[in-house]
Amino acid sequence: MQAVISFTQIVEQIASDAFAAAIATKNGLNASRDLYHLQMAIREHGEEAVVLETARVLQARYRCSFAEASVDAGNRVRAALELVSGVDTFQTVRNNLNRP
């Protein structure tokens, strides 16, 4: 038996999908701005200086040890560089999850 979907439910679903897409777009733009600054900082100062300064920023922000901040900084920079290189890790993840 086929379920009957009301016009209101269809409109609500479309609005919900549009809102989710708008939020994802806004978040993507925010991320791209920070990735731009990462790439420019590496170009201007080198990767090592960027990782060290990132560690200092994270240490101050999260009040953790320099060792903890350094590991986190290295992981963040490595992951960001993977994103800007065009490796489609999360597109692959989404595609895999959306497979029937």
Residues in Cβ contact with 62 at an 8 Å cutoff, skipping those fewer than 6 apart: 69
Number of domains in the chain: 1
Does residue 70 lie in a domain region? yes
Does residue 15 lie in a domain region? no
Residue 14 in tokens? 């479309």
**Mean local confidence (pLDDT), 18-33:** 81
Contact between 54 and 77 (Cβ < 8 Å): yes
Cα–Cα distance between 33 and 9 in angstroms, integer?
36
- CA separation, residue 93 to residues 65, 68, 76, 82, 90 (Å): 33, 28, 19, 15, 5
Going 65 to 67 to 71 to 73, the CA torsion angle's sign is positive
Residue 17 in tokens? 């999908």
Does residue 46 lie in a domain region? yes
Does residue 50 lie in a domain region? yes
Q: What percent of the chain has pLDDT over 90?
A: 58
Does residue 47 lie in a domain region? yes
Does residue 17 lie in a domain region? no
Residue 43 domain boundaries: 34-84
Residue with structure tokens 């209101």? 8
Does residue 54 lie in a domain region? yes
Does residue 8 lie in a domain region? no
pLDDT exceeds 90 at position 14: no
Q: How far, in whole angstroms, is CA 40 from its chain's centroid?
A: 18
User: Which pLDDT belongs to residue 3?
Assistant: 65
**Mean local confidence (pLDDT), 56-75:** 98
